[in-house]
Amino acid sequence: MKGGRSSPRAARSRAAKLRRPIQVALFLAFVLLFLAMAHPLRPAVPYRLFLDLDPLVALFSAFGTRHALALAGILLVAALLFGRLFCGYVCPFGFLVDLFGPRTRLVVPAGQGRASESAAIESRPAGSKDERLTGVATPLPAWLDSIPWAVLAVFLLGWVLRNGLPALLDPLPHLFRLLAIVVFPAGVWVANGLLNLFRPVAEQVGWYGVAYLGFAQPGAATGVASLVLFAAFLGLNGIAPRFWCRFLCPLGVLLALPARVSWFGRRVAPSCIKCGRCVSACPMGAVPVEPIQTRFTLCVHCRSCQDVCPVEAISFSFGNGRTPAKGKLLQNPRRRGFLLAAGLGGLALLLTRLDPRVIKKSDRRLRPPGAIPEADFLAACVRCGACLRVCPTRTLQASGAEGGLIAWGTPVHRMRTAGCEQSCNLCGKVCPTGAIRELPLIERQHAKVGTAVLDRLRCVAWAENRLCLLCDEACPYNAIVFEVVEGHKRPVMDESRCNGCGMCEAVCPVEGEAAVVVFPTGEVRLKSGSYQEALAERRIHLEPRRDRFGPEPDSPSDTAG
Amino acid sequence: MNRFSRRELLKGSLALGVSALLPGPVFSRPAKAEGGRPLVVQVHGSPEAALEILLRELGGIERFVKKGSTVLLKPNMSFPNPPEMATTTDPRIVRALAENCLKAGAKRVFVADHPLRSVPLCLEKTGMQEACAGLKGVHLLGASEEGMFEPVPLSGTRELKEVRVLRALLQSDLLINLPRMKSHGATTVSLGTKGAMGLIWDRKSFHGRMDLDQAIGDLNTVIRAALTILDGTRVLTAGGPLGPGPVEELGCLIGGTDPVAVDAVGVSKARWYGKVISPVEVGHLVACHERGLGEIDLDRIDLVFREVPPS
């Protein structure tokens, strides 16, 4: 942006100078809160801050069990006062779009292509080295202006259809997920690799904390697709700066609604010479051909216009002179574009719900303990990946499309990777919508995920008479115990004691698929009420089997793991 | 129960004889009591006081820990369970023993294990983190990465041909094994010799591909504790190794320099799975004994009882 400074006279305002540092600081805060979101969570740290701020996340939390709307309300009220200030200063996704955006491109507001292009070129002083004006002007088609409203409509349709899939476009969960399933797994892999190189040295110099530091490797399931999606969103910058923020961001368009009447914003003094520099400089296309006007639905207060104004006619204030762009939000032919885009989007959402795998619930996905009933879950999960990030064993991974596209990005257990730690209830604590309930340990242990099934044909203790019993060893509830059968110790399964934690599947030494596998059979999904009572009704007892182990009373423990 | 053929036994002993000559910190030779009969001490009472008496009876901690040496304490911290469940070593004993080692002049003390579950959770929930906090020179190590282990070739062994051993062990002058006394589905009990599996990388193959008991025997030919102290404060008599299961308040520590003898005594001190079990019924102890690693016959072990005097 610095390279684009056009006039030495136009001193940048303090806000413009502070914008990038503020963006960097808040982006770092976003990343640090992500990194900090790990065991042990401290009550004083607002780990979910950025997710809780998001009114769209709050929207989907209506289907969940967490209705923390206060922070989300703050953002809407702020937009009422300051317009889309959030997009220009706070949004970490917007920061990346800014950062990887073009620096020298002629910007033309949608629908005003030819006119403003000529205006800009005409106004160019002879022999000017203004880089901002050297780009190739490609007029953006008018129908693009209808896209943001179509995105918002699809979001609301998703809400009506109880389909959380549109949340993939919500920038805050999107970026959080990207960190969780792309950046973090890759980072951990690199960190462990570097640590491995460094271990011998660390031992020599007595840094044992470093020599024996290791991080559980998170999975990157769906990471490639997410990376491609993210790259595509950034790549749209090639069409126009902040293309994502202008046309596709659902949070941006939601904030545009209150921003229309925002109090604080761009003001243009009558001294304006209508040179059109601000029209071209605005990355959001928020300045119409008549530069005294402002499209407050788009302005993110980046003050590029102020920077380039040769007569310093532009200010940002509460003051008089508020001149919104004329015209309705949706004029023909934009209305037709809107109906087409929203209609197609809504239809696509409906089709994902009508996937036979979703209708018949025929896939084998295992949901985290405390996940609310599946229909609500698919509506409430914003796929932010917070649960994937916090899971200490990494048993939680992002689902691909194997359970239908509607379930893409939602958390599922990969028990072969690791079992579900029974003394941990972190996924419910970090879920911003309460798609996974926040439960006390004892309740969470009774939130039955599924039931393990032992395949005696593949089990080495049954098929090869090996002394294995790793599953028996790993089972926290003694749902698998050994019996001496035909002179050999062999594992036997008592389903009535299994909560599907998957420890058995994780440790099974059989190559490939384990000989003991957890299926969602018997899972207990409650939106409210006690899991302990639910299991008691189902005659499932997650206590040690006193009958088999003699008369001794069992040790009290709230971890049972 | 598989038995060695005479030839195998011969070959094994030969290899052992050779390996005993090799240098290296893994191969510390077990010290025997006078007259060749191993001494095992059982002390009842509060853990810290019991440890003091036990160490005194075995000749004092200075007998084992030389000034400026590196000691590896191997407690069981395999699971994120509280010590009350009797599945992991009581952290009070770990702290007291680490302090003893430091007092005897140890340069550094590793408290190390390869937990079966999430390392940070295990270190926290077992109470080890708290127990080791503030002890200068004590390093609590929970292994989680293959890079923390070093391959060691084995010769003359039956099941195990190569094993990846925790590097901290290879850098230690002395190994003190500090297991919790507990039951174990596959190996009946999990005491000192079984606990050696907490210092290696790959354990699944012990269960899935090898004869578990023999592999433990093989492993103990290279991982040899100079001192084994069983945490018998509370004993998980069934449902092990993870629990939950019945816990017996035995209230004692059992220690000695012969790892097999200590385990054999440990086996005889509780009713496992509701019945009395003889050490010779425990496959991996027999396998260790057959490799000349220690005495399994209770009649050939000098057992000394002590009790912490009431204060």
Residue A137 has pLDDT above 80, yes or no: no
Chain A neighbors of B168, CB-CB under 8 A: 203, 208, 212
Per the document, the length of chain A is 561
Strand B247-248 and strand B180-184: pairing? unpaired
Distance from CA of B36 to the nearest CA of A (A): 34
Structure tokens at A461: 């203790």
* Assigned token pair, A324: 């919104």
Distance (Å) from the C-alpha of residue B56 to the closest C-alpha of chain A?
31
A488 closest CA partner among A513, A525, A463: A463
Residue B129 touches partner A, C-beta closer than 8 Å: no
Amino acid A357: pLDDT: 84
> Binning pLDDT at 50, 70 and 90, where does residue A117 land?
very low
B84·A192 Cβ contact <8 A: no
- CB-based contacts of A183: which residues, under 8 Å, 6+ apart? none
Q: What is the pLDDT of residue A14?
A: 79
Report the C-alpha gap between A241 and A273 in whole angstroms.
Answer: 25
pLDDT in tens, B17-70: 444 444 344 544 445 545 589 999 999 999 999 999 999 999 999 999 999 999
Q: Tell me the pLDDT band of A186, cut-offs 50, 70 and 90.
A: very high
Interface of A with B in 7-66 (CB under 8 A): 39-40
Contact A544 B244 (CB under 8 A): yes
DSSP strand pairing (B70-75 vs B108-113):
parallel
> Which candidate from A421, A551, A556 shows the least CB-CB separation from B117?
A421
- Split at pLDDT 50, 70, 90, the class of A136 is very low
pLDDT of residue A356: 85
B148 touches chain A (CB under 8 A): yes
Whole-number average pLDDT of chain A: 86
Closest-CA residue of chain A to B284: A467
Give mean pLDDT in consecutive 10-residue pieces for chain B, a chain of 311 residues.
Answer: 49 47 44 71 96 95 94 96 94 98 96 94 94 95 94 89 94 96 95 97 91 95 94 94 92 96 97 95 96 95 93 74
Q: Within an 8 Å CB–CB cutoff, is residue B82 touching chain A?
A: yes
Residue carrying the six token digits 């425990």: B282
Averaged pLDDT for residues A18-42: 95
Contacts of A211 in chain B (CB under 8 A): 148, 167
CB < 8 Å to B205, chain A: 509
- A293-345 tens-digit pLDDT: 999 999 999 999 998 999 999 999 997 888 888 766 666 567 888 899 999 99
According to DSSP, residue B85 is labeled G
Mark yes or no for CB contact B184/A473 under 8 Å: yes
Nearest to A559 among B81, B207, B271 (CB): B81
CB of A553 less than 8 A from some CB of B: yes
Phi, psi of A213 (to 5 degrees): -90, 135
| DSSP symbol at B200 | B
Quick one: how many helices (H) and strands (E) in chain A? 26, 8
Could you give the CA distance from residue B110 to residue A92 in angstroms, rounded to a whole number? 43
* Residue showing tokens 């069934």: B238
Which of B86, B118, B246 faces A550 most closely, judged by CB atoms?
A: B246
| pLDDT for residue A548 is more than 90 | no
Of A208, A423, A472, the CB nearest to B139: A208
Could you write out the DSSP letters of every residue in B88-110? Answer: S--HHHHHHHHHHHHHTT-SEEE
Which residues 2-31 on chain B approach chain A with CB closer than 8 angstroms? none
CB B187 within 8 A of CB B172: no
Residue A431's identity, in one-letter code, is C
Task: Give yes or no for a contact between A159 and A59, defined as CB atoms under 8 angstroms apart.
Answer: yes
What pLDDT does residue A294 have? Answer: 93
Residue B251 has a pLDDT of: 96
Per-range mean pLDDT, top range of A69-83, A352-366, B37-51, B153-167: B37-51
Measured between CA atoms, the residue of chain B closest to residue A503 is B117
Tokens encoding B4:
């060695």
d(CA B201, CA B212): 15
Distances (CA, A) of A440 to A423, A429, A437, A528: 10, 10, 10, 13
Å between B83 CA and nearest CA of chain A: 10
Whole-number pLDDT of residue B88: 97
For residue A537, count CB atoms less than 10 angstroms from its CB and return exposed for 0-12, middle for 13-18, buried for 19 or more.
Answer: exposed
What is the tens place of the pLDDT at every residue in A253-303?
999 999 999 999 999 999 999 998 999 889 998 998 889 999 999 999 999
- If we measure between CA atoms, which residue out of A58, A55, A32 comes closest to residue A45? A32
Banded model confidence at residue A374, pLDDT cuts 50, 70, 90: very high
Q: Is the dihedral of CA B113, B116, B121, B127 positive or negative?
A: negative
Q: Measured between alpha carbons, how far is A122 from A537 in angstroms, rounded to an integer?
A: 79
